[in-house]
Structure 1
Amino acid sequence: MVRTVCGDDIANKLELIPLSDNTVKRRIDLMSENILKHLVHQVIAANKFSIQIDESVDIQNNAPLMVFIRYRSTDDFREEFLFCEPLLTSATGLDIFNEVDGFFRKNNLDWSTRAIQPEFYSVLQDVIQIVNFIKARALNSRIFHAMCDEMGSQYVNLLYHSDEKLSQGKIATFALLSEFLEDSTKVTLNDLKLLLQKYLNKLQLELNRYIPENVELSKYNWVRNPFEVSVHEVGEDICGFQEELLDLQASQVLKDNFSRMCLTQFWAQLKDKPIVSREFENALLPFPTTYLCEAGFSTLVVIKTKYRNRLDAQHDMRCALSMNIHPNIEELVEYVQHQGSH
C-alpha cells in the first residue's frame, strides 16, 4: 500500500525499519507453537516413541531439563526437540518424571503408565522422597547413619526390599509397620507378605519386559539385513512374523528399495507388514542419537548469554533445533497482524 501511495523510495526506507523486540518475540513464539502443534500430531499418529532426557545448569544457575523425542514418521525415523523447562527446585528422578508427565498431559500425549495398587501409592510417594533426600548427598547418608546409632536401631543403613527378606518376615526395620501389625486384628503378616509378593512379582515382570536380561543380539540380525537371514532362525515365538518376513524377502521391489535407502528409511516406509513393523519399531526406537541433548545445551549457551540471562529460551530453541518440522508460514499469516498495536 505504501509503495502504491508514496512510491518505491519511501517503501524501501520503511522496509529497513526493524520490528520491535516484543514483536520479534511474539513471532518466534508463534512459530515455535506451530512447530510443536505439528510435532504433537505426528507423535500421536506414530503411536510409539522414545525420549532422551538430560539436565544441566545455565548462565543464571537454573537447571534446564531438555527432552528430545524419537518416533517413526511416514518416510524415516525422526528425532526432534520436544521441550526445555527449568527444574524449579531439585533434580531428582521424581522431579524429572513430574515435569515430563505434566508436558505430556498438557499436550494430550499418551504417557503409558501402569496402575499401582492404592494401598501402596501414598506410601510409595513418601518412600521416594525420603530415599531421594538421604541418597542425594553423602552428608545426608552419614547423618542418617548417626541418627540410627543414637536411636539404638539394629539397622543403620538404608535397606531395600528383596524377596528373600520378605519371605523370612524380617520387617523389624520398619518400626511403624511392625507396630501396626502388632495392634491390628484384621491384617496379619501373611496377608501383608502375599500382597507385597504379588505386587513385587508384577513389578519384576514389567522390568523384565522393558529391560530384558541376557538378550541374544543375533535374533535382531534380520533388522540389519532382512534379505540375508534364514526365516527359520528368527521370530519362531512371534505368531505370523515368519510369514510376513518370507513375503518381504520374496518382493523384488522391497529388495531394490533396501539397496538404495538407508536402513531407517527402508523400515519406516514399510507399510503392509504390521507384525514385522511392530518388531522393528521395538528394535530401533529406543536408540536416539547420543549427542542430541549435548547439541541442545550448546545451542542454549549461544542463545541465552549473560546479556540475555532472563530470556525464556524454549521457543527460540525449538525454532533453532527443529530438524524436520518447519513453521507453516501460510497458516500463521492468516490470523496474525503484520504489526501489532503497542
Structure 2
Amino acid sequence: MKLHLEKNHAEYAGRDMDFFKQQEQKLKRQKLDEGGSFQQQNTAGVQVFFEVSLEIAKEQKPHTIGETLIKPCTLLIVEGIFGKAAAPKVEQVSLSNNTVQHRIHDMSEDIKLQVISEMKEAPFGLFAFQNDESTDVSSCSQLLSFVRYVKGNDIKEEFLFSTTLETTTTADDIMQKMVQFFDAEGIPWENVRGVCTDGAPSILGSKLGFQTKVKSLASQAKGNHCMIHRYALSCKTFPQPLQEILETVTKIVNFIKAGALNSRLFKEMCKDMSAEHEALLYYTAVRWLSKGNVLSRFFELREEVKHFLDIRGKHELLQHCEAGQWNEQLAYLADIFEQQNQLNLKLHGRGNTIIHFQDNLRGFIAKVQNWQRKVNKGNISMFERLSEFHDNSEKELDSLLKANILEHLESLEMELLRYFPDLDDIETKIVRNPFSSNVGVDTIPEAIQDEFLDLQNDSFAKDAFEEKSLTEFWVGLRGYPNICKMAMRVLLPFASTYLCESGFSALLNIKNKQRNRLQVEDDIRCSLSVTKPRISKLVQNLQAQRSH
C-alpha cells in the first residue's frame, strides 16, 4: 500500500494519519451514483424524506402512496414549471414503501422518547392515563393508551402506546401489557394519579377489575368510569309510549333504507315533493348521537314518509304514524334528544377536565328540573318542534302527552343523579375556585389548612387566577406544593375515554381491508401525537438512500 501511495498518489505521500482519517470520514458522508462519481449527500433531501413520510402518517394513508402518487405528481409539477433539468433532484427523493415505513418508525421512536422523558421530568412526576380496547378489521384486539401530565406551564395530553392483545381481553391481559410497557420504559407506578376506562365488568370489577389492579400498584390513583359513557347509559330510560315511538321509527327507517329500490324511490319522491332532505338516517345503537339525528331527520320528512308508506302498501306501519299524539310524541323525542346531543358534544374534545364535565352535567340536570316545572304549568316553549307543532294545531296540551313527558323528565333526572352522585366533592370545589367564600377552611384537610389560608390571602395568586386558565393557574402555583398536589389529583385524571375513541376512528382508516396485516403502533403514534419528531436530529443520524 505504501508503494501504491508513493507511485500513484505522490502528492499525498507526506501527509500524516489525521489527514487520511478526515478523508475517510468525508468518504462515508458521500454516496456513489450510477456514473461512478461521488455526489455529496443532500441533507435537505433527507429532511424532505422525513417530512413527506410524516404527512403520509398524519393523513393515515398507505405507505405506497409516496412512490405511486406523490413522487410522480411532484415530478410532473417540477418538470412543467422548472423544466426537465430540475427533475433529477426530485428523482433522488426516496419514497418507496420500505423507506416510508422506516422513516415513520424512526419518527415514532423519537416521539416516544420525548414523551417518556417529559413524563419523568414533569413536576412531582405525576401523570394519569386512559385505556380502551377495540377489535380492528383483522379481528385483532388493539389496546390504546393516552397519558396526561404537566409540561411547561400547562397540562399536556399525549398518545402513550398501542399494542395487540393476542388472545383474551381480560383485566389480567391488559394489566400485563401495561406493566410490560412501564417496566421497559422505567415509568414508576407510584406516580399514577388517575386511570379512566370504559364500563366493562372486567375493567371496573371491585375485586379483579383492571382499575383495582392499577390501584394495587398505585395506591393514590383515582379510578374513573368514562363520564360520556355514563351519560349515554343514563339517557336510555323511556316511558313505554315513547319507547314504542322510537321502535316504530326504527322499523320504518329500516324498511326504506334496507332495500336499494326503496332508497332510490324515496329519494326521487323527496325531490318531487321539494323536501329539504332526500334520505333518512340509519339508527346505530353504538353511536351515541345517532338516535337524536335519526329522530330529527324523520320528523322533518314525516309527511314524505307517510306518503311513501301509503304508496308501497305498508299500512301496518302507516297506521302507527296516523295514530293520535304520534306527531306530538315524535316532536318531543326529536327535541329532547337534540338537547341531549348538544350536551354530549360539549363533553367531547381534548383537554377537558373533570370540572368541565361536572359543570356541564350540573347545568343539564338543572335544566331538566326547570323543564319539569314548566311542563307542569303547560309551558312547552323550550321544546321547539313540539311547541311549533302545538301552536299550529291550536290545541291544548294533551294530558296523556303531558304525563308521558313528565314521567320521562323525572326518570332522566333520577338516572343522571344515580350515575353521577359525586358532582360536588370538596376537592373539586377547592380547585374550581380556591378564593370562593363557599370554601371554608374547616373543610380542608388539617395538614394543609395553613397553606390554604396563605393562598387565599395571596393577592398575586388572585390576579393570576383571573388572568389564566384553570390548569395554567394551578400548574404555575409552585409556591404551594401541598395544595398543588391536591389540585393535580383533580385536574390530571381523565374524565372520559374520548381520546381512545377518536384513536379507534383513526385505526379504522390506518388498518383497513387493504392493509390488514399492518403493525399500526408507529403510524398511529405519528398520526395522533401532539409532540413533533426531531427530524433535524434524525437526519444527522441517517445516510440518504436513492430511490429504489
Question: Could you tell me the TM-score, scaled by structure 1's length?
Answer: 0.64
Query: Which letter does structure 2 place at the counterpart of 1:15?
Result: V
**Shift in Å at residue 301 of structure 1?**
0.7
> Counterparts of 2:143 and 2:151 in 1: how far apart (Å)?
25
Max radius of gyration: which structure? 2
2:428 maps to what in 1?
220
Q: Does 1:29 align with 2:235?
A: no
**CA spacing shift, 1:34–1:208, aligned 2, 3 Å:** closer
Instruction: Note if contact 1:79-1:288 (Cα within 8 Å) is conserved in structure 2.
Output: no
**CA spacing shift, 1:258–1:207, aligned 2, 3 Å:** closer
What is the CA deviation profile of residues 106-145 of structure 1, one whole-angstrom value per residue up to 9, with x for unaligned ones? 11111249xxxxxxxxxxxxxxxxxxxxx99xxxxxxxxx
Instruction: Note if contact 1:248-1:254 (Cα within 8 Å) is conserved in structure 2.
Output: yes
* Residue number among 308, 325, 330 corresponding to 2:515 in the alignment: 308
What is the CA deviation profile of residues 45-100 of structure 1, one whole-angstrom value per residue up to 9, with x for unaligned ones? 23221111111111111000111111222221221111110101100100000011
Counting only pairs closer than 5 Å after superposition, residues 11-30 of structure 1 correspond to structure 2 as 11-15=86-90, 18-30=94-106
**CA spacing shift, 1:55–1:243, aligned 2, 3 Å:** same
**Shift in Å at residue 320 of structure 1?**
0.8
1:331 maps to what in 2?
537
Counting only pairs closer than 5 Å after superposition, residues 227-266 of structure 1 correspond to structure 2 as 227-229=435-437, 232-233=440-441, 236-239=444-447, 241-266=448-473
Query: Which letter does structure 1 place at the counterpart of 2:119?
Result: V
Q: Kindly indicate whether structure 1 or structure 2 has the higher relative contact order, using CA contacts under 8 Å at least 6 residues apart.
A: 1
**CA spacing shift, 1:62–1:305, aligned 2, 3 Å:** same
What is the CA deviation profile of residues 289-331 of structure 1, one whole-angstrom value per residue up to 9, with x for unaligned ones? 43110000001111111111111111111111112x1111222
Counting only pairs closer than 5 Å after superposition, residues 49-88 of structure 1 correspond to structure 2 as 49-88=127-166
What is the CA deviation profile of residues 25-44 of structure 1, one whole-angstrom value per residue up to 9, with x for unaligned ones? 11111111111001001111
Query: Which letter does structure 2 place at the counterpart of 1:48?
Result: L
Instruction: Note if contact 1:232-1:242 (Cα within 8 Å) is conserved in structure 2.
Output: no
Gapped runs of 5+ residues in structure 2? 1-38, 43-81, 192-200, 208-214, 225-420
Instruction: Note if contact 2:135-2:141 (Cα within 8 Å) is conserved in structure 1.
Output: yes
1:190 maps to what in 2?
none
1:281 maps to what in 2?
488
SS at match of 2:135: coil
Instruction: Note if contact 1:69-1:79 (Cα within 8 Å) is conserved in structure 2.
Output: yes
SS at match of 1:82: strand
**Shift in Å at residue 260 of structure 1?**
2.5
**Shift in Å at residue 219 of structure 1?**
4.3
**CA spacing shift, 1:288–1:83, aligned 2, 3 Å:** farther
Gapped runs of 5+ residues in structure 1? 114-134, 137-159, 161-202
Query: Which letter does structure 1 place at the counterpart of 2:113?
Result: K
Q: Does 1:39 align with 2:246?
A: no
Query: Which letter does structure 2 place at the counterpart of 1:335?
Result: N
**CA spacing shift, 1:310–1:253, aligned 2, 3 Å:** same
SS at match of 1:56: strand
Counting only pairs closer than 5 Å after superposition, residues 72-151 of structure 1 correspond to structure 2 as 72-112=150-190
> Counterparts of 2:437 and 2:463 in 1: how far apart (Å)?
17
What is the CA deviation profile of residues 262-288 of structure 1, one whole-angstrom value per residue up to 9, with x for unaligned ones? 211211222221111111111222224
**CA spacing shift, 1:54–1:267, aligned 2, 3 Å:** same
Question: Could you tell me the TM-score, scaled by structure 2's length?
Answer: 0.41
Query: Which letter does structure 2 place at the counterpart of 1:284?
Result: L
Instruction: Note if contact 1:221-1:229 (Cα within 8 Å) is conserved in structure 2.
Output: no
1:268 maps to what in 2?
475
Comparing 225-234 with 271-280, greater Cα deviation is found at 225-234
> Counterparts of 1:209 and 1:328 in 2: how far apart (Å)?
33
